[in-house]
Amino acid sequence: MENNHTCDLLIVGGGIAGLSAALEASKYGKVTLLTKGKIGETATEKAQGGIAAAIDQVSDSTEFHFEDTLAAGAGLCDEKAVRVLVTEGVGRVKELIALGAQFDKAETEAGGTRYALNLEGAHRRRRILHAGDETGAEIEKTLGRRVAAEGKVAIHQRMMGIDLLAENGRCLGAAALNQQTGETRIYSAKATLLATGGVCQAYLYTTNPPFATGDGVAMAYRAGAEVTDMEFVQFHPTSLVQLKGFEDLIALPQFLISEAVRGEGGVLLNEKGERFIHELAPRDVVTRAIVEEMEKSGSDHVYLSLRAIAPDKVKHRFPMIYQTCLERGLDITKDNIPVAPAAHYFMGGIMTDSDGKTNIGGLYAAGECASTGVHGANRLASNSLLEGLVFGHRAAVAAKYEIQNTKYEGITKFETTNSKPRLKDFEAQRFKLVIKSAMWNGTGIIRSQESLEDALNKLVKVEKQIDFAPVSADELELRNMLLVAKLIARSALGRQESRGAHYRTDYPRKDDANWQRHLVYKMTNGEFRMTN
């Protein structure tokens, strides 16, 4: 392929949001989709629990789903966006089923079948469709299979975004690194959609795959896009704690024990074997309760017990979790699972409207890298896959008008470098570890002015040591991780209250009078500035 590529819509990211957008946009334009790794290597593929949608209109309703989402969001959800999510979500899920997605079913008393809907934290009704405990993989396979079958989308694998190309307040495409050749390729497009996923690799303990380094958020911010809700990072209550004898796995992401396990009857126990929290309370509540129990006992974990669930059901309902734990020395049909919280999901990101539009002309964002306002201060379980599906599609629809009514503008300038990487692999990993440790200790589950300022000081020290143009994928990731880490820490320092996933010991209560608002930031003259 040549080093200059032209298309109507450039999509950066191949998870559920990117694939949903690609399917829709390929109906009316030339679409190119960039994936950082191989196709299918996304956070979507790792999603276990399921996708929430009120498809059972007898016992459930979109109004119930709407109300549950608002309640979880702790006063910061955008009601218009939530209404879009829960209403359009039903149709999008039915389309997914029509494309061939195989969600689990159960027999009815009348001898027929229905979808086996699960219950998860803060949902008042069973509305979680699932495919065993590998729902994300089933959805990604379904969408990917259709994209491949139609053959209308040019997929460029192992292409990592370097920077957006913007002039006069408009995005004209992006520059990307070919990780196989080391060359820079220029992608010119009438519209660009960022669907690059989350940022939680900025934390020492995370359930996110290694490539979730905040690339899209960082690229957009450097180009002048507004970001919002950066302080809201969701920590999942139950990730598998490292077992003795399995130290070789320490560098891998924390293995997630899905919330669906608690939805089916799993209970949390402290060191004394006592239940200490309602398992299906909102995630921030459960997470802080676990931290409190760990501090009381001096342990690095609590326990999740599945003994109330029949062994055959455990194996059938959670085959991947069962097998993975078995490989690590645990039979979860009878052994308690040692669990602890880990960084899991990012509620903040690139600020968009309900069509995925940003403040930069021609630039859209969808999925975890975007902040539409649907999650507020705390995401409702299993709304993430739904968000990617709904808003990826909406962004593609919105881009149609722009593509058909915008004259193509070529890239006039982009400086490339032929220099070699400055950092060796182990040096880049060492800097990443400093960032991850600073973020976990300073901007984690429990925060304070002192901890946040300490984290920022450590991040600034790293910044001074890597003040050069990145060349390799490791250097690009390091630059992006550092930027999103600083944005999270500064935003958390700015919000002087506790709300949803953001908890400060020095401001332990929610303050609606002063802080029931979104904090929006933009880079102005190279500096971090609040715009609202």
pLDDT of residue 501: 96
Say what the pTM is. 0.94
- Note whether residue 420 is domain-resident: no
Name which of 214, 239, 257 is nearest 365 in CA terms: 214
Q: Are residues 192 and 108 in the same domain?
A: yes
What mean pLDDT comes out for the span 361-374? Answer: 97
Cα–chain center distance at 361 = 24
Q: Are residues 145 and 43 in the same domain?
A: yes
Of 340, 364, 382, the one marking the end of a domain is 340
Q: Are residues 452 and 437 in the same domain?
A: yes
Q: What is the CATH number of the domain that holds 228?
A: 3.50.50.60
pLDDT of residue 47: 82
Does the pLDDT of residue 95 top 50, yes or no? Answer: yes
- Note whether residue 413 is domain-resident: no
Q: Are residues 103 and 167 in the same domain?
A: yes
Domain that holds residue 305: 241-340
What mean pLDDT comes out for the span 215-236? Answer: 97
| Percentage of the chain modeled with pLDDT above 90 | 81
Q: Are residues 134 and 43 in the same domain?
A: yes
CB neighbourhood size of 113 (10 A)? 10
Q: What is the CATH number of the domain that holds 448?
A: 1.20.58.100
Q: Give all strands (DSSP E) within 198-301, no chain letters.
A: 227-228, 233-240, 267-269
pLDDT of residue 246: 47
| pLDDT, averaged across the chain | 92
Q: Are residues 521 and 506 in the same domain?
A: yes
Does the pLDDT of residue 2 top 70, yes or no? Answer: no
Contacts for 466 with CB less than 8 Å, ≥ 6 apart: 423, 431, 475, 478, 479, 482
What are the CA-CA distances from residue 165 to residues 1, 125, 155, 287, 445 (Å)?
A: 20, 45, 20, 40, 36
What mean pLDDT comes out for the span 345-367? Answer: 97
What mean pLDDT comes out for the span 163-182? Answer: 93
Q: Give all strands (DSSP E) within 352-471, no chain letters.
A: 363-365, 370-371
Say which amino acid occupies 312. Answer: D
Give yes or no: 394 in active site: no
**Phi, psi torsion values for 529, nearest 5 degrees:** -130, 135
Contacts for 53 with CB less than 8 Å, ≥ 6 apart: 65, 86, 89, 90, 92, 93, 127, 129, 386
- Note whether residue 62 is domain-resident: yes
- Per-residue pLDDT band for 340 (boundaries 50, 70, 90) equals very high
Could you give the angle at which helices 16-25 and 383-404 cross, rounded to 10 degrees?
A: 30
- Note whether residue 12 is domain-resident: yes
Overall number of domains in the chain: 3
Q: Are residues 295 and 203 in the same domain?
A: no
- Note whether residue 412 is domain-resident: no
Question: Catalytic pick from 158, 262, 283, 288?
Answer: 283
302 DSSP β-pair partners: 339
Q: Are residues 249 and 156 in the same domain?
A: no
- Note whether residue 410 is domain-resident: no
Q: Are residues 372 and 448 in the same domain?
A: no
What are the CA-CA distances from residue 164 to residues 54, 215, 413 (Å)?
A: 37, 11, 12
- Per-residue pLDDT band for 244 (boundaries 50, 70, 90) equals low
Of 323, 340, 357, the one marking the end of a domain is 340
161 DSSP β-pair partners: 176
Alpha helices in 175-282, H assignment, sequence order:
215-222, 259-263
Q: Are residues 163 and 105 in the same domain?
A: yes
Q: What is the CATH number of the domain that holds 319?
A: 3.90.700.10
Q: Are residues 307 and 374 in the same domain?
A: no
pLDDT of residue 250: 44
Q: Are residues 357 and 321 in the same domain?
A: no
Of 304, 323, 340, the one marking the end of a domain is 340
- Note whether residue 213 is domain-resident: yes
- Note whether residue 60 is domain-resident: yes
